[in-house]
Chains A and B, each alone.
Chain A
Amino acid sequence: MRPAAGLTSARSKLGPHALRLPCSDRCFSVLNRPPPNYEGHIPLTRAERLGLALGSGLMSFLDPRRGDLIAAFGEATAQPYFINHLRDRMLLNPTGRRILRDRPRLTSTSLDIPRLRLLPKNTVGYAYTEWLDREGVSPDTRAQVRYIDDEECAYVMQRYRECHDFYHALVGLPVFREGEVALKAFEFANTGLPMTGLAVFSALTLKKGEWRRFWDIYGPWAARNGAQSDDVINVYWEEELETDVDQLRTRLGIEKPPDLRDMRRAAREARKKEKAAREAAAGAAV
């Protein structure tokens, strides 16, 4: 703190005009970190932000199961433009505005998961719990936003992150790499957050068969639906739990992609059958 304080007093001697320089560029350094804008906020300098983006990006590319790194990468790359743009899209939509006003948080307690399990099978709530159970995840596993400077944009990031599981439920894509990549492509086309777009590059690490499916089926589906459908960030999920999934999808303008699990199973069986046939042929030849 000392050097910064000395700088301020030296500057005040220069007269009132010197003080007009934007303070944000001058006094914000590792030595003089401004107070957090909201609980849990960690203000970063530009260099720190760049380092965080590069480090977390590289590490999460190498190990896509590190949700914390993906989260940090998402926050480091969303500023200054993209998250504001997403917030503006919410501000232009009555429901999006209501979400920003109420600031609801999605947790297992706020959602009352056991009640959702009792809902009719065609509802969003049921599809969501079914998806949670099938994938073995919980809405409480979402990290707290820390690196977004504006507190409202930080909420937008938090909301996006918490709703991510609902997007899975909405389109029925699983959490393993192939499904995640397809969903990230959809999210990129829909939200414009750079992290989701960069995550699509992990498609390069897919196996050959998965890559072909992504290229032929899921990629085009994601691009088409993400760009054409309404903003999924503006869905007030808490109010849609009892809505029919197909109705909601139609309302948003999203086509349901082919079931990835079924397709993988079919592909696996086909491979097995082929192998068995080959073995049988080989056996017959012997």
Chain B
Amino acid sequence: MPPRIPCRAHRAACPTPAVRYGIRLQRRLASTSASAPDIYDVVCVGGGPAGLSLLAGLKASPITNGLKVALIEGQDLQKNRLPKDASLDSFSNRCSSLTPASMRNLQEIGAWRHANAARIQPYQEMQVWDGVSDARISFDWDTARSLGPRTPTQPTTIAYMIENVNTVSALLGRLEELGGVDIFASTKVDAIELGTDTEQLDLSSWPVLSLSNGKSLAARLLVGADGANSPVRTFAGIPSRGFDYSRHGVVATLNLSSPGWGGPDHKIAYQRFLPSGPIAMLPMPGNFATLVWSTTPERAAKLKSLSPADFTAMVNAGFRLSPTDLEYLHTLPSGQAEEIAWREKHTPTNERGLPVRVTDVQGGSVASFPLRMRHADTYTGERVALVGDAAHTIHPLAGQGLNQGQGDAAALVRTISHAVQSGQDIGSTLALESYNEARYAENNAMLGVCDKLHRLYSVESGPVVGLRSLGLRAVNAMGPLKGFFMSRAAGGV
């Protein structure tokens, strides 16, 4: 047993639980008792991309695959899986941009090959511009040359567009292949409390979960991957600070008139910063794209109420017309398509720099969600770790939310395997410290950058517009600096 440093008074007062082997023994002895909880090394609450990635990572590693792990998910996991023969004529509206770092992590844990590759769209270029001044920056690895000559190993892909359901299905496929995870799907957590000190074993510092199916689980390490309103975070008493942007993200799956200006092999993502928030169109396979339009709640409600023809016209207008025209168009109850056709005649545009025209919107795919900024004070507590949205919620303008969750999961797997290797208690704050250290500052920086960008581009007129346009053009002209930003956004290549 490694030396333990009593961190808190209540822990110091009571004897620490026995080593893992001992507990296994205890569990077997106590398994007949109805009141005694099942004892697990890791219990993960929440079967989203972050939680599943953590479990797949633990099970894929020879160091940690001996741990007894459980997954609790409120929804039916099988129902949310992508059908094997899913048609390429329709895509989910909830998509994410996976950075090369996240993709590599999914490859390392063996989940990437379980993904439906035909439904993943890598993109090689990104066009970002200012909706007020039209200052533009283009991201592709060719113009973002570092000082030396280009090496063949340098990547050409900026990121991979993937439906969240595809990511989840891939991870579930990998977990099934690996086996050894007790999955409690369609099961809710009724309560999380600290265990009790009985004659047989002392669980007084262990979280014990009461499930809706009547079971109770004790966790050496409880992982909260349970979203922005994380019950695990509440149990651990970790405050989460932040604010609402009073913006909504409108998402939709779009049909385009063609695969795009670069053809099917060179896909381009587009983002235009409007004063109400950025509008982004991200490429999906074939003639499809996914929309994320951050805008005011009123405008989001208006967009959702429009007919498909008017909505389609509004998306085209969002990339082309002036903020003034867009402001007016949102006040019309209907008839946007006709009004936009007239305005486009009087708005000079360079079509080559804009996404190809949207021809239709996939029925029922228009939805919206409120945008928030949240950051937990810490990601770890006594026998508790938070990953993904439970730890942080970010503005979607840089497409980093899911990637941060993947980064958390990978870092927590490293932390746990280090603790296992060095014989530490994986639930101790000491062992978990390195996870917090690895992720907190990095996530905080990314949250801050996205927040500042949101603020910078909310300004509608005045000297700020001139300065930010100057800055954007300057970065665009400086290849190595642009390359630095791109590698940061790619998850540190």
Contact check, B342 vs A88: say whether CB atoms are below 8 A apart: no
Contact check, B346 vs A88: say whether CB atoms are below 8 A apart: no
Give A138-169 as 1s and 0s: 1 = Cβ < 8 Å from B's Cβ atoms: 00000000000011100000000000000000
Is B116 an interface residue, CB under 8 A from the partner? no
Contact check, B342 vs A92: say whether CB atoms are below 8 A apart: no
Is A251 an interface residue, CB under 8 A from the partner? no
Inter-chain contacts of B322 with A (CB < 8 A): 88, 91
Is B328 an interface residue, CB under 8 A from the partner? yes
Q: How far is the CA of A17 from the CA of B325 in the complex (A)?
A: 33
Contact check, A101 vs B324: say whether CB atoms are below 8 A apart: no
Residues 32-88 of A at the B interface (beta carbon under 8 Å): 88
Contact check, B342 vs A91: say whether CB atoms are below 8 A apart: no
The secondary structure that dominates the B interface is helix
Contact check, B328 vs A92: say whether CB atoms are below 8 A apart: yes
Nearest CB in chain A to that of B321: its residue = A91
Contact check, A152 vs B327: say whether CB atoms are below 8 A apart: no
Chain B min CB distance to A143 (Å): 23
Q: How far is the CA of A17 from the CA of B342 in the complex (A)?
A: 34
Q: How far is the CA of A151 from the CA of B327 in the complex (A)?
A: 22
| B328: contacting residue among A17, A91, A150, CB under 8 A | A91
Q: How far is the CA of A91 from the CA of B346 in the complex (A)?
A: 12
The secondary structure that dominates the A interface is helix
Nearest CB in chain A to that of B332: its residue = A94
Chain B min CB distance to A244 (Å): 29
Contact check, B346 vs A92: say whether CB atoms are below 8 A apart: no
Nearest CB in chain A to that of B324: its residue = A88
Inter-chain contacts of B324 with A (CB < 8 A): 88, 91-92
Inter-chain contacts of B325 with A (CB < 8 A): 91
Chain A min CB distance to B329 (Å): 10
The interface on chain A, measured as residues whose beta carbon lies within 8 A of the other chain's beta carbons, has a size of: 10
Inter-chain contacts of B143 with A (CB < 8 A): 17
Contact check, B327 vs A101: say whether CB atoms are below 8 A apart: no
Residues 234-276 of A at the B interface (beta carbon under 8 Å): none
Q: How far is the CA of A150 from the CA of B348 in the complex (A)?
A: 9
Inter-chain contacts of B327 with A (CB < 8 A): 92
Chain B min CB distance to A264 (Å): 42
Most buried by A among B143, B324, B325: B324
Inter-chain contacts of A152 with B (CB < 8 A): 346
Nearest CB in chain B to that of A151: its residue = B346
Is A117 an interface residue, CB under 8 A from the partner? no
Contact check, A97 vs B328: say whether CB atoms are below 8 A apart: yes
Inter-chain contacts of A17 with B (CB < 8 A): 143
Inter-chain contacts of A100 with B (CB < 8 A): 346
Inter-chain contacts of B328 with A (CB < 8 A): 91-92, 97
Chain A min CB distance to B480 (Å): 15
Nearest CB in chain A to that of B142: its residue = A17
Most buried by A among B327, B328, B348: B328
Q: How far is the CA of A97 from the CA of B346 in the complex (A)?
A: 12
Residues 153-178 of B at the A interface (beta carbon under 8 Å): none
Chain B min CB distance to A104 (Å): 16
Most buried by B among A17, A88, A100, A150: A88
Q: How far is the CA of A38 from the CA of B9 in the complex (A)?
A: 82
Inter-chain contacts of A101 with B (CB < 8 A): 342
Chain B min CB distance to A93 (Å): 8
Inter-chain contacts of B346 with A (CB < 8 A): 100, 151-152
Nearest CB in chain B to that of A17: its residue = B143
Q: How far is the CA of A92 from the CA of B328 in the complex (A)?
A: 5
Chain A min CB distance to B475 (Å): 15
Q: How far is the CA of A152 from the CA of B143 in the complex (A)?
A: 36
Nearest CB in chain B to that of A97: its residue = B328
Interface positions of A (Cβ within 8 A of B): 17, 88, 91-92, 97, 100-101, 150-152
Query: Apart from A91-B324, A150-B348, what are 14 other A-B pairs with CB-CB below 8 Å?
Result: A17-B143, A88-B322, A88-B324, A91-B322, A91-B325, A91-B328, A92-B324, A92-B327, A92-B328, A97-B328, A100-B346, A101-B342, A151-B346, A152-B346
Can you give 16 A-B contacts (C-beta < 8 A)?
Answer: A17-B143, A88-B322, A88-B324, A91-B322, A91-B324, A91-B325, A91-B328, A92-B324, A92-B327, A92-B328, A97-B328, A100-B346, A101-B342, A150-B348, A151-B346, A152-B346
Top 5 closest pairs, chain A to chain B, by CB: A88-B324, A152-B346, A91-B324, A92-B328, A91-B325
